[in-house]
A and B are shown apart, each in its own frame.
Chain A
Amino acid sequence: MAETGTTTVKRGLAQMLKGGVIMDVVTPEHAVIAQEAGAVAVMALERIPADIRAAGGVARMSNLELVQSIMDAVTIPVMAKCRIGHFAEAQALQELGIDFIDESEVLTPADEQYHVDKTPFTTPFVCGARNLGEALRRINEGAAMIRSKGEAGSGNIVEAVRHMRAITEAIEVLVHAKDLKAYAREMRVPLKLVKEVAEAGKLPVVLFCAGGISTPADASLMMQLGAEGNFVGSGIFKSNNPRAFAKAIVDATTHFSDPKVIVETSLSLGKDSRAMEGLDLRKIPESELLAPRGN
Chain B
Amino acid sequence: MGTNAGIVGVLALQGDVAEHLQALEESGVQALTVKSEEDLGRVDGLIIPGGESTTVMKLLHRFELAEPVIARTREGMPLWGTCMGMIVVARDVTGTPQPTLGLMDISVRRNAFGRQNESAEVSLPIPALGSKNFPAVFIRAPWVERAGPAVEVLAERDGRAVMVRQENMLGTSFHPELSGDRRVHEYFMRMVRDALVGKRRKIA
Contact = CB atoms under 8 A, between A and B. Distances in A.
Interface in B1-58: 12-19, 35, 50-52, 54-55, 58
Nearest to A39: B55
Contacts of B115: 77, 97, 99
Size bracket, chain A contacts: 35 or more
A18 interface: yes
Contact of B51 (A2, A19, A98, A255): A19
Q: In the complex, which range does the number of interface residues on chain B fall in? A: 35 or more
Interface string A111-123: 0000000000011
Nearest to B16: A15
Contacts of A59: none
Contacts of B116: 9, 13, 77, 98-100, 123-124
Contact of B121 (A9, A16, A39): A9
Most buried by A among B51, B55, B98, B123: B55
A38 interface: yes
Q: Is the interface of A mostly helix, strand, loop or mixed?
A: loop
B15 A19 contact: yes
B94 interface: no
Given A19-B13, A97-B115, A255-B35, A8 B55 contact: no
Interface of B: 12-19, 35, 50-52, 54-55, 58-59, 62-63, 83-84, 96, 98, 110-111, 115-123, 137-140, 175, 178-179
**Residue of B14, B58, B59, B62 with highest tally of chain A CB at under 10 A:** B14
Contacts of B50: 15-16
A135 interface: no
B54 A9 contact: no
Interface string A1-15: 111111011101101
A277 B75 CA distance: 51
The 10 closest A-B CB pairs, nearest first, are A2-B120, A99-B116, A19-B14, A9-B119, A40-B52, A15-B16, A38-B58, A4-B120, A38-B55, A3-B121
13 contacts: A3-B121, A9-B119, A16-B16, A16-B83, A16-B84, A17-B51, A18-B15, A39-B55, A75-B111, A99-B116, A250-B58, A250-B59, A254-B14
A253 B15 CA distance: 12
B121 A8 contact: yes
A98 B122 CA distance: 22
A2 B122 contact: yes
Contacts, number: 117
A242 interface: no
Nearest to B158: A2
B14 A13 contact: no
Contacts of B59: 38, 250-251, 254
Given A4-B118, A4-B120, A12-B175, A254 B110 contact: no
A77 to B, nearest CB: 7
